[in-house]
């Protein structure tokens, strides 16, 4: 029998709700046909699909990043404000499509307000100028009697939006990016922009454009140069394989990247005497393997996420919880239609397999990450299946077949333990032991499972992978239950008196 020991008084980090953020970009059918689709029977008077918005609301995302992504590096925000009929259509060189600019800044802000989520905007550092960026910041946050603040008022918004999070470009390290820069060029440019933007609004928080957190020729250079001037360091990761073990274990590249980038940030702050915190945001992450042709506008084919992908997503979230000392924001890429938990169609929305672990983790994860010790079988991953992503993680193993994270409420009355059984063939009987407290009532168990690792939800079978909820009697300091093969179990328990 496997054993999971939880010590609730041994706090390893404070969980930031922003790790459950999302990301949407003007790409594929994410905006047009996903978020915004005039003429759809589900659209409101502004053209926004309410069924999509309701499905996103079910993910409890506290922050939403837009407009990119690669798209932003040739996006001019002024094209997307004012009367819709007067907005120009522009060629989008990032994704090879026409952008009609019908969903712009004000529409995005309204969308965020309706969801109760904070907006996170990204500046165009490709074809954009500093003057343009300062104008956008003033349009959103300006309070004085000035041209850009007054333009916002003319467009119907009297009060400033008060946008806190602003990204200094997107993936500027890549030669695929419009306006690609070297690390030295980017660092010098981003420093100039940061100093100027903080003069427009000193309350904003700026996000430096990182790579994967592991590159000496980008991450080390940019962190050293910008740690004084930014509040966040962005890292991106995508994983995915048609081999189940590679699919679920590639995610542990995040552990390696956090060790390296976290040390770079800590060292740079120490050497330069930087007092303000600089946290890591994974503002793009997801599984992405099966579909290769989903990157153009108008395509009806999106990534079909599997049960294996759902376990990978759950593993990401467990890592973000366990590393909550350094990761304070993360944004699932993307939310609708492109690599997404939600797919739209003429008859409604389909919730993909990855929707469910994200939804229950976002809804029930508690305030404080606490220590766990797991005794279970392990898996030695010796063959890397990484034809798409060059992640090598076998040296980090052997890996426990059970991946576990635990959180408790600040007042010590509730414990939530997330257990992922990555074993595709065998169930595991587990004993959950509480080292310093006791169960105080009925325990809720939420289980995500399916018939096999490659199981997907489809329009004619939308609940192949879903959530089942059950209850167990809870008393004493231990609980036994069985975790099925290839499944995710969330144990939600009231806890009480501490043991002597």
The SS3 call for residue 466 is strand
Is 427 a known active-site residue?
Answer: no
3-state secondary structure of 392: coil
* Selection from 323, 351, 236, 327 nearest residue 288 by Cα: 236
Extract the tokens encoding 204. Answer: 């904003």
| DSSP string covering 401-433 | SEEEEEEE-TTS-EEEEEEEE--SS--EEEEEE
Q: Which of 37, 284, 425, 480 is catalytic?
A: 284
Coil/strand/helix, residue 269: helix
Query: Is 284 one of the annotated active-site residues of the chain?
Result: yes
- Other CB atoms within a 10 A radius of the CB of residue 398 amount to 12
CB 4 within 8 A of CB 431: yes
Residue 93 neighbours by CB under 8 Å, 6+ apart = 74, 178
Half-sphere exposure of 355 (CA within 13 A, CB side): 28
Count of beta carbons in the 10 Å neighbourhood of residue 411:
8
Quote the crossing angle between the two packed helices 307-322 and 253-272, to the nearest 10°. Answer: 30
Helices 105-115 + 50-57 axis angle, to 10: 50
CA distances from 210 to 28, 133, 186, 374 (A): 24, 19, 10, 33
| Residues composing the chain | 500
Distances (CA, A) of 283 to 50, 121, 207, 208: 25, 11, 10, 11
Distance of CA 439 to the CA centre of its chain: 32
Give, for 342, the enclosing helix (H) or strand (E).
strand 342-345
* Catalytic-labelled residue, pool 85, 171, 427, 480: 171
Query: For the stretch 434-470, what's the b/e string if a residue is b when 16 or more beta carbons lie within 10 angstroms of its beta carbon?
Result: bbbbbbbeebbbbbbbbeebbbbbeeeeeebbebeee
Q: Tell me which residues are annotated as active site.
A: 171, 284
């Amino acid at each position: 029998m496997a054993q999971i020991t939880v010590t609730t008084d041994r706090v390893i980090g404070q969980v930031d709700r922003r790790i459950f953020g999302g990301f949407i970009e003007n790409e594929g059918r994410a905006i047009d046909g996903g978020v915004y689709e005039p003429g759809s029977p589900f659209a409101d008077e502004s053209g926004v699909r309410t069924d999509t918005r309701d499905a996103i609301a079910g993910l409890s995302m506290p922050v939403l990043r837009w407009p990119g992504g690669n798209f932003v590096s040739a996006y001019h925000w002024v094209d997307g404000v004012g009367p819709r009929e007067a907005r120009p259509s522009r060629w989008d060189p990032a994704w090879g499509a026409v952008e009609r600019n019908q969903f712009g800044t004000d529409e995005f802000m309204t969308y965020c307000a309706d969801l109760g989520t904070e907006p996170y905007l990204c500046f165009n550092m490709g074809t954009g100028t500093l003057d343009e960026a300062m104008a956008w910041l003033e349009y959103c946050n300006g309070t004085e009697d000035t041209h850009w603040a007054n333009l916002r008022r003319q467009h119907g918004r009297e009060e400033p939006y008060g946008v806190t999070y602003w990204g200094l470009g997107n993936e500027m390290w890549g030669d695929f990016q419009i306006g690609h820069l070297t690390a030295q060029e980017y660092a010098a440019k981003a420093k100039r922009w940061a100093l100027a933007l903080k003069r427009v609004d000193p309350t904003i928080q700026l996000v430096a454009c990182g790579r994967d957190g592991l590159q000496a020729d980008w991450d080390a250079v940019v962190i050293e140069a910008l740690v004084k001037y930014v509040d966040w360091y962005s890292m991106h990761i995508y994983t995915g394989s048609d081999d189940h073990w590679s699919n679920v274990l590639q995610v542990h590249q995040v552990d390696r990247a956090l060790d390296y980038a976290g040390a770079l940030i800590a060292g740079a702050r120490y050497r330069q005497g930087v007092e303000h915190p600089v946290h890591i945001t994974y503002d793009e992450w997801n599984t992405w393997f099966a579909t290769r042709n989903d990157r153009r506008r108008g395509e009806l084919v999106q990534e079909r996420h599997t049960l294996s992908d759902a376990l990978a997503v759950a593993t990401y979230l467990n890592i973000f919880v366990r590393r909550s000392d350094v990761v304070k924001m993360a944004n699932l890429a993307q939310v609708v239609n492109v690599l997404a938990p939600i797919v739209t169609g003429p008859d409604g929305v389909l919730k993909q397999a990855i929707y469910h672990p994200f939804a229950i983790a976002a809804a029930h994860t508690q305030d404080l990450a606490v220590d766990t010790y797991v005794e279970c079988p392990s898996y030695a991953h010796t063959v890397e299946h990484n034809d798409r992503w060059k992640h090598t993680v076998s040296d980090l193993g052997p890996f426990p077949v059970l991946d576990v994270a635990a959180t408790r409420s600040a007042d010590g009355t509730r414990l939530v333990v997330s257990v992922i059984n990555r074993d595709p063939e065998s169930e595991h009987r587990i004993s959950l032991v509480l080292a310093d407290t006791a169960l105080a009532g009925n325990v809720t168990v939420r289980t995500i499972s399916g018939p096999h690792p490659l199981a997907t939800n489809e329009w004619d079978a939308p609940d192949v992978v879903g959530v089942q909820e059950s209850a167990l009697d809870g008393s004493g300091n231990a609980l036994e239950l069985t975790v099925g093969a290839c499944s995710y179990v969330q144990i939600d328990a009231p806890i009480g008196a501490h043991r002597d």
